[in-house]
Amino acid sequence: MKKIDTRQGWMGLLAKAPAEAVGRYWAALGMAPAFTWLRTPEIGGVMVRGRMGGTGAPFNMGEMTVTRCALRLEQGGAIGHAYVQGRDKAKAEQAALLDALMQTGDADSVRVGVLEPLAAEMEAVAATRAAKAAATKVDFFTMVRGED
Amino acid sequence: MYVAVKGGERAIDNAHAWLAEERRGDTSVAELSVAQIREQLALAVNRVMAEGSLYDPDLAALAIKQARGDLIEAIFLIRAYRTTLPRIGNSNPVDTGAMACDRRISATFKDAPGGQVLGPTFDYTHRLLDFKLAADGEAPEAPQATPGNADVPHITSFLNRDGLIQTEEPGDETPPDLTRAPLEFPASRALRLQSLTRGDEGFVLSMAYSTQRGYGRNHPFVGELRVGRVAVEMEIPELGFAIEIGEVQMTECETVNQFTGSKTEPPQFTRGYGLTFGHAERKAISMALVDRALRWQELGEDNIGAPAQNEEFVLSHSDNIQATGFLEHIKLPHYVDFQSELELVRKLRAEVAASAKRDAAE
């Protein structure tokens, strides 16, 4: 399982997760902490860069949509940030709340109730694709030549 | 005489209302949802994202629906939307070596580490219409096998190890951005690659094809073609570290091209590079061939005057939104322009007629 114990890890997981899945686990968690916005959800673009030849100097490819926000929990004052792929403001809000809660005493419930099952679900999808790709791997065999 | 013209509002409103009705088509046929376009016309969605220069499959699918399947119109809609987005930042350069590959083939090395993985490809199909698709939407489940855990290294890294191919010097300089500053010539390779990756697929294909037919031949082999998902990482200033902000499907093509050498350097292969959003093999291969052709100067080759060697020609004409904007504007009202032309022609004809009459009289 990919590391979700670090802040980098869980923020990355939430950024890549489908909005539907984040919403589903968030609802199942059943928490509704009071918070104040530090930055209301904002939709923007991030310029994605590649490298020439895969490893060389960088160049600009094109943008991707990203939604970001930041908030502070009323209780305890933990600050949650979110930078998530796409244009779903609800997903960004949930991701920021989860990020904030991971810095509180609720961290274990969030990890068990949201992060771990979400990571497992996404890993299963990736594993299925990898297995389908593996089934299309070519096995070469050499024909015996008959001339001599 | 200048005549200001007003009017046509009602005609325009009614034309747009009819457009909406025609877009819907026969209402006894089920309406197409944006999700259906995203899932079932994925390659059209990919093209709109690549040339619209914005990775967002839902938006691209919506644009295709709104444009009635006219992909250049859809790209136009995405480009227009893109300009309204605040720029949050720039990603770290993506690591395509860490791509989760759906497909990875090499035309140069049969036994490449990681293997030849065909993925969901049209290659080796017979290109016969499949009438089963017209009958029902059932699809068989794809077989699965146990994936090897081995890395899938870039093929060119093997050639690189032996010094057989020109190295790509890594760097961290900020690349120029043609969405922020106008294109100027001579353009850097970074700017050429940005222009090519958002360029019209048909145009880039034709330019690449022209090099194969002899107009700037560069003897390409597809060293590697890979399609898959790549994580995108960005530094977050308020956190002080980088996080993954998403995952993007990309197609990457590395070509191994004719070698060069000199008195001081032994012969070695050269490279062309293509990288696009989505699954877009034709585009990625084309991009790599054109990239290579445009590098003639840096690689000390002769300019034989081939169109694909002319960066001003290639980069100024690869953008289908610029092209269609300038081309299609000539169908919009040019009454005043035309009136002046008309008056000029009438005057010239009158002069010719008058002088002919004079000649006849003499």
Q: Which residues of B touch A12 (CB under 8 A)?
A: 231, 243-245
* Structural domain contains residue A19: yes
Q: Which residues of B touch A40 (CB under 8 A)?
A: none
* Structural domain contains residue A127: no
The letter for the amino acid at B316 is S
Q: What's the pLDDT at A147?
A: 61
Task: Note the pLDDT tens digit of each residue in A53-84.
Answer: 999 999 999 999 999 999 999 999 999 999 99
Residue B90 sits at the vertex; the CA angle it makes with B88 and B95, to the nearest 5 degrees, is 140
On the 0-12 / 13-18 / 19+ scale of CB atoms within 10 A, B261 is exposed
* Structural domain contains residue A138: no
Helix axes B281-294, B189-197, angle to 10 degrees: 150
* Structural domain contains residue A141: no
A2 interface with B at CB cutoff 8 Å? no
Q: Which residues of B touch A64 (CB under 8 A)?
A: 54-56, 91, 232, 245-246, 248
CA distance A85 to A17: 8
Residue A41, SS3 per DSSP: strand
Kindly determine whether residue B243 and residue A8, on different chains, have CB atoms separated by under 8 Å.
yes
User: What does the DSSP assignment read for B127-164?
Assistant: ----THHHH----PPPP--PPP------THHHHHHTT-
Q: Which pair of structure tokens corresponds to residue B143?
A: 């077989």
* Residue A1: pLDDT band with limits 50, 70, 90: very low
Task: Note the pLDDT tens digit of each residue in B27-61.
Answer: 999 999 999 999 999 999 999 999 999 999 999 99
Q: Which residues of A touch B87 (CB under 8 A)?
A: 44-47, 63
Q: Cβ distance B276 to B43 under 8 Å?
A: no
* Structural domain contains residue A2: no
* Structural domain contains residue A55: yes
Which among A54, A65, A128 has CB closest to B54? A65
Mean pLDDT of A92-96: 98
Question: What is the DSSP pairing of strand A35-51 with strand B87-90?
Answer: parallel
The alpha carbon of residue A135 and the mean position of all alpha carbons in its chain are separated, in whole angstroms, by 27
**Domain coverage including residue A49:** 7-115
Domain count, chain A: 1
Chain A closest CA to B330's CA: distance in Å?
30
CA distance B338 to B343: 9
Kindly determine whether residue A63 and residue B277, on different chains, have CB atoms separated by under 8 Å.
no
Kindly determine whether residue B85 and residue A65, on different chains, have CB atoms separated by under 8 Å.
yes
Average pLDDT across chain B, whole number: 92
Mean pLDDT of A41-51: 98
CA distance B304 to B291: 16
CA distance B320 to B78: 13
Q: What's the pLDDT at B308?
A: 97
Q: What's the pLDDT at B341?
A: 87
Residue A132, SS3 per DSSP: helix
A129 interface with B at CB cutoff 8 Å? yes
Chain A closest CA to B7's CA: distance in Å?
38
Residue of B nearest to A15 (CA): B245
* Structural domain contains residue A79: yes
Q: Other C-beta atoms within 10 Å of A26: how many?
A: 22
* Structural domain contains residue A123: no
Q: Which residues of B touch A61 (CB under 8 A)?
A: 94, 194, 197, 275-277
Say if residue B71's pLDDT is above 90: yes
A38 interface with B at CB cutoff 8 Å? no
